[in-house]
Amino acid sequence: MLVETSNFGKIEIKKDKILDFVEPILGFEDYNKFTIIDNLEDDIFYWLQSLDRADLSFIMINPLAFVDDYKISIPLKYQQKLKLAEDSEVVFYTIVVIDQSTGDIRTNLRAPVIINAENNKAVQLVLDEEYPTRFYLFKTDPVVEETG
């Protein structure tokens, strides 16, 4: 499948790389087909690219690269929606936001994207665990003005 993207131009997506969001990403209810673009120059950032809208993509990270003790529990309702079996491989990411005015980079640890790697069903889940919605990966220091 050939997909037009704003960031990468036209890219070929194999059928087995299409993610089906069984519940939409918060705020983007009209879109449920995405793919992950991960063959970039670094191993930290990934792109979650909509297959329905060229200009809709999200930067993501594996939160375990930044938070060693990040653990999630998937409620039964979502286990069923994702069709998780006891031995299913689950992959999860968190969405990254880059503040254009400050350059701060943060991620939302409270609402990860959960993927059943065996059937490519996905969901963005708001966790019961008390993780921050604004976990800073990079924060610019405030400017201190000197007088005198």
Answer whether residue 27 is part of any domain: yes
CATH of the domain at 94: 2.30.290.10
pLDDT band at 74 (very low <50, low <70, confident <90, very high): very high
pLDDT on residue 148: 42
Average pLDDT over residues 4-22: 93
**Nearest one of 39, 40, 34 to 17, comparing CA atoms:** 34
Answer whether residue 15 is part of any domain: yes
Answer whether residue 44 is part of any domain: yes
Answer whether residue 30 is part of any domain: yes
Q: In sequence order, what are the beta bridge partners of 61?
A: 45, 94
Q: How far is CA 47 from CA 58, 77, 117, in A?
A: 6, 27, 16
Domain total for the chain?
1
Hey, is 140 helix, strand or coil?
coil
pLDDT digit string, tens, across residues 25-57: 999 999 999 999 986 666 789 999 999 999 999
Q: What pTM was computed for the model?
A: 0.87
Domain of 42, in residue numbers: 2-138
Q: How far is CA 147 from CA 141, 142, 144, in A?
A: 18, 16, 10
pLDDT digit string, tens, across residues 91-142: 999 999 999 888 899 999 999 999 999 999 999 999 988 999 999 998 886 5
Average pLDDT over residues 77-91: 93
Average pLDDT over residues 14-26: 94
Answer whether residue 146 is part of any domain: no
Answer whether residue 106 is part of any domain: yes
Q: How many CA atoms lie within 13 A of 55 on its CB side?
A: 0
pLDDT band at 82 (very low <50, low <70, confident <90, very high): very high
Answer whether residue 148 is part of any domain: no
pLDDT at position 143 over 80: no
Average pLDDT over residues 66-86: 93
pLDDT on residue 146: 44
Average pLDDT over residues 47-69: 94
**Nearest one of 66, 123, 116, 121 to 91, comparing CA atoms:** 116
Hey, is 17 helix, strand or coil?
helix
Answer whether residue 25 is part of any domain: yes
